């Protein structure tokens, strides 16, 4: 219970601060906190949630290990967010461009670390073997990368009525997502960079990314990480009910692929 | 050592986020981080320092108690910052005005909690008796309130060449500091509110605050808290060298009063 509360607190903290960093004005069709109440209160609300998360774990019996797990995840999370900010400043093409491998590491930190922490924290607090906690951490990290890359595909080709995101939104915002980076790495990279930079014909950009293999490479990459999730899950001596719930979550992620 | 590192990390985190919240563009004559690098990177840098502080303590032997001490201080810190933000929105006069007592509680949270944590953390990590840690926490909290109120006096009457702050800066920024709140609570309150609101004659506002007893009440309040520091220190079985260093710090604070 304490683990779930702490993870929810940290997750909300990270959404609050993320929206400030990305300048996002909407989240699920509602104004973001900084947009509605101002940057200062949003920064502060995030800090409060973060402090509460730490306190929630630190006041549990044997909470020191849980706090270590959380703070290591936070270090990765911040590193991932910093890389994400830095990626935006790098060029589309040339030796300074962002490689798909760098993106994968960023996604593991930014999205996977917190999911890994969420998966492992209950085991840590419950006194499970370190290998069990480590395997659950891997479950969450691979799940995070898969989730992020599926999100990238939806951000370009998803149905806005289903995703709640604007059509071609990620292309309009010039996001360097996995499918885009794969396509930029292909012979079509130069042409795509011009299209993305001008922002004139995003449908053509989406078609070019698909043609260059960005979409299929992204789905293959997501599937590889889901397979790694399955392998890590198989190492964990889970109660049938918990295992069923985790697999249901995976199913949800896969259905989202549509 | 770990305690000092953690406190320094948290202190810098709080300065970084504070400057965003207050919209301060300068700190000690240099641009603040958000001003120099943008709000997003400043939020993120603060989060990184916060996470590192928690990790620093959590990886110490017996670090759980230290993390609890830190997270309780952070809860107070955030509460104090939130109150500070809310005070700015309340009227100068009338039943909704901010009372000096509320200000004292805010200052204890915003400035005192972290100093209390700084004073207590070494004792907590070193396995001192809980009463010792609690007395050191009180030392820091009273020191924080005294420091804040002396800072308020300097923000109105201090020599800009010494303080590095603009003349009457706190009045220009319409800050509801302790001397101002005391004067607003006096029969001269209505006249002062008009002066502060217009911002036309800040020298006259400063004179009116002094005449209404705001300055002397502030110094008396600061001295009361310094006396409470002395009393709390007397309860602590400190090594002579540590006691000497703490008293030197108090002396520095008192000299600042000029």
Greater confidence (B248 vs B213) lies with: B213
**Chain centroid to CA A45:** 21
Mean pLDDT of B119-141: 93
Q: What is the residue-wise DSSP string for A131-191?
A: HHHHHHHHHHHHHHHHHHHHHHHHHHHS-HHHH-SPTTHHHHTT---HHHHHHHTSTTHHH
**Which residues are registered as beta bridge partners of A160?**
none
> Which residue ranges form the domains of chain B, and what is each CATH number?
1-59 (no CATH), 63-255 (1.10.600.10)
Q: How does the average pLDDT of chain A come out, rounded? A: 91
CA dihedral A201, A202, A203, A209 (to 10 degrees): 120
Contacts A77 to B, Cβ<8 Å: 51
Residues of chain B by 3-state class (helix, strand, coil), percent to 5? 75, 0, 20
- Name the minimum distance, in Å, from the CA of A24 to any CA of chain B: 11
Tens digit of pLDDT for each residue in A8-40? 999 999 999 989 988 889 988 899 999 999 999
Residue A166 has pLDDT above 50, yes or no: yes
Residue A126 has pLDDT above 50, yes or no: yes
Q: In this complex, is the C-beta atom of A23 within 8 Å of any C-beta atom belonging to chain B?
A: yes
Q: What pLDDT sits at residue B32?
A: 95
Q: What pLDDT sits at residue B246?
A: 79
Tens digit of pLDDT for each residue in B178-206? 999 999 999 999 999 999 999 889 999 99
Q: What pLDDT sits at residue A28?
A: 83
Residues in chain B: 258
Contact state of B44 with A85 under an 8 Å Cβ cutoff: yes
Q: In this complex, is the C-beta atom of B86 within 8 Å of any C-beta atom belonging to chain A?
A: no
Q: Name the closest residue on chain A to residue B54, using Cα atoms.
A: A71
Mean pLDDT of A45-73: 92
Contact state of A71 with B55 under an 8 Å Cβ cutoff: yes
Q: What pLDDT sits at residue A188?
A: 95
Greater confidence (A250 vs A211) lies with: A211
Residue B94 has pLDDT above 70, yes or no: yes
**Residue among A41, A54, A75 whose CB faces B85 most closely:** A41
Q: What pLDDT sits at residue B194?
A: 95
Q: What pLDDT sits at residue A244?
A: 84
Of the pLDDT bands very low, low, confident and very high (cuts 50, 70, 90), residue B258 is very low
Q: What pLDDT sits at residue A159?
A: 84
Q: What pLDDT sits at residue A258?
A: 40
Contact state of B54 with A54 under an 8 Å Cβ cutoff: yes
- Name the minimum distance, in Å, from the CA of A257 to any CA of chain B: 31
Q: What count of Cα atoms within 13 Å lies in the side-chain half-sphere of residue B238?
A: 21
Tens digit of pLDDT for each residue in A87-104? 999 999 999 999 999 999
Q: In this complex, is the C-beta atom of A39 within 8 Å of any C-beta atom belonging to chain B?
A: yes
Of the pLDDT bands very low, low, confident and very high (cuts 50, 70, 90), residue A255 is low
Q: Range with the lowest mean pLDDT among A36-45, B152-161, B209-218?
A: B152-161
Mean pLDDT of A54-66: 90
Q: How does the average pLDDT of chain B come out, rounded? A: 91
Contacts B41 to A, Cβ<8 Å: 21, 82, 85
Tens digit of pLDDT for each residue in B33-79? 999 999 999 999 999 999 999 999 999 988 889 999 999 999 999 99
- Cα separation, B17 vs B10, in Å, equals 11
The owner of tokens 């397979």 is A227
Contact state of B67 with A54 under an 8 Å Cβ cutoff: yes
Greater confidence (A4 vs B221) lies with: B221
Q: What pLDDT sits at residue A203?
A: 93
Give all strands (DSSP E) within chain B, no chain letters: 26-27, 30-31
């Amino acid at each position: 219970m304490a683990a779930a509360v702490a993870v929810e607190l940290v997750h909300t903290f990270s959404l609050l601060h993320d929206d400030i960093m990305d300048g996002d004005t909407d989240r699920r069709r509602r104004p973001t906190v900084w947009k509605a109440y101002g940057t200062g209160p949003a920064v502060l609300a995030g800090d409060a949630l973060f402090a509460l998360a730490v306190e929630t774990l630190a006041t549990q019996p044997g909470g020191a290990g849980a706090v270590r797990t959380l703070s290591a995840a936070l270090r990765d999370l911040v590193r991932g967010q910093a890389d994400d900010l830095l990626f935006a400043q790098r060029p589309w093409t040339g030796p300074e461009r962002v490689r798909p491998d760098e993106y994968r590491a960023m996604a593991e930190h930014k999205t996977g670390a917190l999911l890994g922490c969420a998966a492992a924290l209950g085991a840590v607090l419950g006194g499970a073997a370190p290998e069990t906690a480590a395997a659950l951490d891997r479950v969450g990290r691979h799940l995070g990368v898969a989730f992020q890359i599926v999100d990238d595909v939806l951000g370009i080709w998803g149905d806005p009525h289903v995703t709640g995101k604007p059509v071609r939104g990620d292309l309009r915002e010039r996001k360097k997502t996995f499918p885009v980076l794969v396509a930029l790495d292909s012979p079509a990279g130069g042409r795509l960079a011009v299209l993305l930079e001008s922002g004139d014909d995003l449908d053509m950009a989406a078609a070019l990314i698909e043609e260059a293999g960005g979409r299929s490479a992204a789905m293959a990459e997501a599937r590889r990480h889901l397979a790694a999730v399955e392998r890590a899950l198989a190492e964990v001596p889970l109660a049938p009910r918990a295992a069923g719930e985790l697999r249901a979550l995976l199913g949800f992620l896969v259905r989202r692929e549509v």
